[in-house]
Amino acid sequence: MKLFSVIGNPIMHSKSPRMHNNAIKNFGFDALYTRYNLEDEDKLRDILFNLRISGANITLPFKEKAFKIADVKDESIFDIKAANTLIIKKSKIYAYNTDILGFLKAIENFENLNKVLILGAGGTARAIAYALKYKNIKEIHIANRNLKRFSSFKDFITMLYEDIDDFNYDMIINTTSAGLFDENLACDKKILEKIFNYSKYAFEVIYNKETPFIKLCKKHNLIYKNGLEMLLWQGIFAFELFFEIKNQQNNIKKFMLEGLNLE
Ligand code: NDP
């Protein structure tokens, strides 16, 4: 039997086991997908080999570490230097980032995107910024509440929220955790309202609640999505890598949605 796991800290809330195990069951694979709460990131490599894990999804806060410990890195992740999917084959770790593909799939119906603002400057912001760059979006701006993380956004224009003076964006994306455990917005509501008056599209990475950001999107009649499709599609792409299957995306999607109990 093959063993797969999602690895992070905290990890109890992760929906990945439900998604993957239902797909595994329905495809009839001899495999099990579990979760692992990792305390010490320096143990990541040992855990993968000691538990004989065939593949793993890596989540907060170990995506950069996952990139570092990999022996073979997919070309698409050289820029973002973060991996969310690891495959272990013949004593080697192969690293991928299916968050990039998951995000692009989630926004594939959003048209005429030339100028995009990303709120937040963490790992997800970086994956999304490069996803948009690969999509040839011309202007990608990153705003955050402090400067300290901007050094990993050298390919983009960065600014503090209070320095935003051009509010004309086609899409605004919230990658911050503001609103996840509280009722906060990432920045002053007035700034967001000015941007929302121009924007056509919005994207919120949080998927399990109606955040203040989503409420504001509704108020301003924006076309918006939450992070559910991104979550789902990063899982579908990871599942394809785990089991080396192609042309089964519709079935994987159906089984993963069932696993999430959302269909
Ligand atoms: P990081 O910790 O790497 O970055 C978080 C960012 O949010 C930082 O820029 C941080 O600012 C900012 N931030 C946090 N809290 C606040 C706040 N209250 N107000 C303003 N800014 C804030 O996290 P990740 O990028 O890895 O993850 C961010 C979110 O994305 C999480 O909620 C995660 O669950 C979600 N996610 C969803 C996915 C999906 O598939 N839908 C996939 C991956 C992540 P500072 O620099 O000051 O610390």
| Domains of the chain by residue range | 2-97+231-261, 101-225
How far, in Å, is the centroid of ligand 1 from the Cα of 125?
8
- DSSP-derived letter for residue 152 is G
| pLDDT beneath 70, residues of the chain | 262-263
* Strand 139-144 versus strand 201-204 pairing type: unpaired
* Ligand 1 lined by 175 (C-beta under 6 Å): yes
Ligand 1 atom closest to residue 63's alpha carbon, by position in its atom list:
26
Give the pLDDT confidence of 17-38 residue by residue, as tens digits: 999 999 999 999 999 999 999 9
pTM of the model: 0.93
Say how far apart CA 212 and CA 217 lie, in whole Å: 9
CB of 150 closer than 6 angstroms to any ligand 1 atom: no
Say yes or no: CB of residue 146 within 6 Å of ligand 1.
Answer: yes
* 142 membership: H or E segment, kind and range: strand 139-144
Report whether residue 230 contacts ligand 1, using a CB cutoff of 6 Å: yes
- Contact (Cβ atoms closer than 8 angstroms) between residue 144 and residue 150: yes
DSSP 39-102: S-GGGHHHHHHHTTEEEEEE-TT-HHHHHHH-SEE-GGGTTT---SEEEEETTEEEEE-HHHHH
Q: pLDDT per residue over 95-105, tens digit each?
A: 999 999 999 99
In the prediction, which pLDDT does 262 show? 56
- Give me the CATH code for the 101-225 domain, please: 3.40.50.720
User: Cα(3) to centroid of ligand 1, in Å?
Assistant: 29
Same fold, 2-97+231-261 and 101-225: yes
**Angle formed at CA 248 by CA 126 and CA 258, multiple of 5 degrees:** 80
Write the CA distances from 161 to 120, 145, 204, 214, integer angstroms: 10, 6, 17, 19
Distance from residue 40's CA to the centre of ligand 1 (Å): 21
Question: How do strand 92-96 and strand 171-174 relate by DSSP bridges?
Answer: unpaired
For residue 201, give every residue at least 6 positions away whose Cβ sits within 8 Å of its Cβ, in sequence order, or none.
107, 110, 113, 170, 171, 172, 222, 223, 224
CA-to-CA distance for 46 and 34, rounded, in angstroms? Answer: 17
**Fold assignment, 2-97+231-261:** Rossmann fold (3.40.50)
Query: What pLDDT sits at residue 208?
Result: 85
